[in-house]
C-alpha cells in the first residue's frame, strides 16, 4: 500500500507567492495543508478563492504563532487525515516542490525517519546565498550538532524536510519551539527519540522575497536555545537514560579541565612580576588541564559515533493518542467564498 504523503505550507505574508508553490506540487502528494498564520495579507482567502486543487485544505490561526506553530497545526491535521509522511514546504518559493519525491524516498524505503534539505551540499550554489545567511548557517550548524547530537548534519535551519507520521505523533508539540528556532529545536527533540535523520542535497532559489528573520534580533535567543538543549540532551542521554564510560569521561574531563585552567590562571595572574612560578605549580596546572582535555575529546568522539543509525518508525505502531481537532488547536478551516461574498468556515 502506497504511503499517503501530505504537504504542509506555513504561510505568512505569502499571498503573492503561495499559489505557484501549490501549483508545482506533484501528484505523489495526496493532501496539501496551507496554514495561514494570521497573515495580514489574507493568504487564506487568496488560496481558498483562487485555488481549485481538490487536495488543498486551508487552515487559519486567529493569532500569529510563528512558522513552527503553523507547521505543527498542519502536521496534526495531516495526521488526523491519515497521512503517513508529512513534508514542510515554505510559501515563499525558495523550495522546489518537484524535489518532494526524492526528499521522501529514504522514508518510503524504510531508511530514515526524518529527511531534511542541505543547501551546502552543492558548493557552487552557496555563492547565490546571501552572505549573512551563509555565515549564520555555518555558525549555527556547529551549535546544532552539539545541541542535537546529529554530528553529520549541516544547514539546521533549512525548512524543507519530511518526517514520518509515526515519529511526528511521538513529538511533544507543546515543547517544540514555534518560531525561528523551530527547525533546530525539532532536531533536538528527534534526537531525544533516537530517530534516524538523513540529509537531502537540494538547490535553493533566492529571489526578491524578504525574509522575516532578523539576525541581530534572533542571535541571543538562538544561542540561549542551543545552550539549553545541549545541557538537556547530555543530561538525559548520559545520566538519566544511560550511564556509561562516556558519562564518567565527561564528569572527570570537565572537573580536571576546569581545575587545571583555573589553577593555572590564578597562579599566573597572582604571581609577582619579578618572581617565577614554581615548576610543580606549572606541572599541576598543565597535567590536569591536558588530562581533562583528553577526556573531553574521548567523550566527544563517543558522542559523535553514537548518532542514531537505525530508523525508528518501522518498529512503531500507529499511535493511539488522540490528535486535537483543528478547532481545539485554535485554527479554523477556511473554505471558498459563497456567491454573495461571505466566507464559510468550519472547525
Whether residue 311 is contained in a domain is answered as: no
The CATH number given to whatever domain includes residue 71 is 3.90.550.10
Closest listed residue to residue 152, CA positions, set 141, 168, 166, 139: 141
d(CA 85, CA 82): 9
Whether residue 127 is contained in a domain is answered as: yes
Q: Give me the number of domains the chain comprises.
A: 2
Whether residue 268 is contained in a domain is answered as: yes
d(CA 19, CA 40): 17
Stated pTM of the model:
0.85
Same domain membership, residue 26 and residue 123: yes
Same domain membership, residue 265 and residue 136: no
Give per-residue pLDDT as tens, 74-98.
Answer: 999 999 999 999 999 999 888 899 9
Whether residue 312 is contained in a domain is answered as: no
Give one word for 131, left, alpha or beta, with left for phi > 0 and alpha for psi -120 to 50. alpha
Same domain membership, residue 289 and residue 217: no
Does position 301 have pLDDT exceeding 60, yes or no? yes
pLDDT given at position 126: 62
Whether residue 62 is contained in a domain is answered as: yes
> Given the C-alpha cell 454573495, which residue does it identify?
340
* CB count in 10 Å sphere of residue 328: 11
Same domain membership, residue 228 and residue 341: yes
Same domain membership, residue 31 and residue 64: yes
Same domain membership, residue 148 and residue 35: yes
Whether residue 283 is contained in a domain is answered as: yes
Q: β-strands 197-201, 56-61: how paired?
A: unpaired
**What's the half-sphere exposure (Cβ side, CA atoms, 13 Å) at 257?**
12
Range of the domain at 250: 243-305
Same domain membership, residue 250 and residue 202: no
Same domain membership, residue 97 and residue 12: yes
Same domain membership, residue 12 and residue 153: yes
Same domain membership, residue 287 and residue 187: no
Between residues 212 and 113, which one has the greater pLDDT? 113
Specify the range with the lowest mean pLDDT, choosing from 36-50, 117-131, 273-287: 117-131
Between residues 308 and 339, which one has the greater pLDDT? 308
Quick one: cell of 311? 530508523
Q: β-strands 85-88, 161-164: how paired?
A: antiparallel
Quick one: cell of 293? 582535555
Give per-residue pLDDT as tens, 143-167.
Answer: 889 999 999 888 888 889 999 999 9
φ, ψ of residue 34 to 5 degrees: the values are -100, 125
> Given the C-alpha cell 508529512, which residue does it identify?
86
Residues 5 and 104 sit within 8 Å (Cβ to Cβ): yes
Give per-residue pLDDT as tens, 237-275.
Answer: 999 988 999 999 999 999 999 999 999 999 888 888 877
Whether residue 310 is contained in a domain is answered as: no
pLDDT band at 58 (very low <50, low <70, confident <90, very high): very high
Same domain membership, residue 286 and residue 201: no
d(CA 208, CA 296): 46
Same domain membership, residue 132 and residue 17: yes
Whether residue 154 is contained in a domain is answered as: yes
pLDDT mean across residues, the chain:
85
Torsion of CA 119, 120, 122, 125, to 10 degrees: 70
Amino acid at each position: 500500500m502506497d504511503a499517503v504523503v501530505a504537504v504542509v505550507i506555513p504561510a505568512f505574508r505569502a499571498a503573492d507567492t503561495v499559489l505557484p508553490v501549490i501549483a508545482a506540487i506533484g501528484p505523489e502528494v495526496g493532501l496539501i495543508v496551507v496554514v495561514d498564520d494570521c497573515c495580514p495579507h489574507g493568504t487564506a482567502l487568496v488560496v481558498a478563492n483562487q485555488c481549485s486543487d481538490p487536495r488543498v485544505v486551508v487552515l487559519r490561526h486567529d493569532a500569529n504563532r510563528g512558522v513552527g506553530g503553523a507547521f505543527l497545526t498542519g502536521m496534526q491535521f495531516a495526521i488526523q487525515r491519515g497521512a503517513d509522511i508529512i513534508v514542510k514546504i515554505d510559501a515563499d518559493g525558495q523550495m522546489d516542490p518537484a524535489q518532494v519525491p526524492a526528499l521522501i524516498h529514504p522514508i518510503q524505503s524504510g531508511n530514515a525517519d526524518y529527511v531534511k534539505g542541505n543547501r551546502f551540499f552543492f558548493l557552487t550554489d552557496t555563492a547565490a546565498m546571501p552572505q549573512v545567511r551563509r555565515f549564520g548557517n555555518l555558525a549555527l550548524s556547529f551549535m546544532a550538532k552539539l545541541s542535537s547530537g546529529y554530528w553529520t548534519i549541516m544547514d539546521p535551519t533549512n525548512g524543507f524536510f519530511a518526517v514520518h507520521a509515526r515519529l511526528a505523533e511521538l513529538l511533544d508539540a507543546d515543547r517544540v519551539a514555534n518560531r525561528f528556532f523551530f527547525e533546530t529545536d525539532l532536531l533536538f527533540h528527534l534526537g531525544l527519540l533516537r530517530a534516524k535523520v538523513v540529509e537531502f542535497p537540494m538547490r535553493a532559489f533566492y529571489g526578491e522575497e524578504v525574509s522575516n528573520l532578523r539576525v541581530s534580533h534572533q542571535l541571543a535567543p538562538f544561542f540561549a536555545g542551543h545552550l539549553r538543549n545541549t545541557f538537556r540532551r547530555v543530561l538525559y542521554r548520559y545520566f538519566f537514560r544511560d550511564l556509561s564510560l562516556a558519562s564518567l569521561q565527561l564528569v572527570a574531563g570537565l572537573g580536571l579541565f576546569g581545575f587545571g585552567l583555573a589553577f593555572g590562571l590564578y597562579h599566573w595572574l597572582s604571581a609577582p612580576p619579578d618572581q617565577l612560578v614554581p615548576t610543580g605549580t606549572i606541572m599541576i596546572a598543565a597535567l590536569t588541564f591536558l588530562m581533562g582535555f583528553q577526556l573531553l575529546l574521548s567523550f566527544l568522539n563517543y558522542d559523535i559515533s553514537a548518532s542514531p543509525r537505525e530508523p525508528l518508525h518501522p518498529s512503531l505502531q500507529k499511535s493511539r493518542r488522540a490528535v486535537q481537532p483543528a478547532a481545539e488547536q485554535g485554527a479554523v478551516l477556511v473554505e471558498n467564498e459563497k456567491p454573495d461574498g461571505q466566507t464559510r468556515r468550519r472547525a
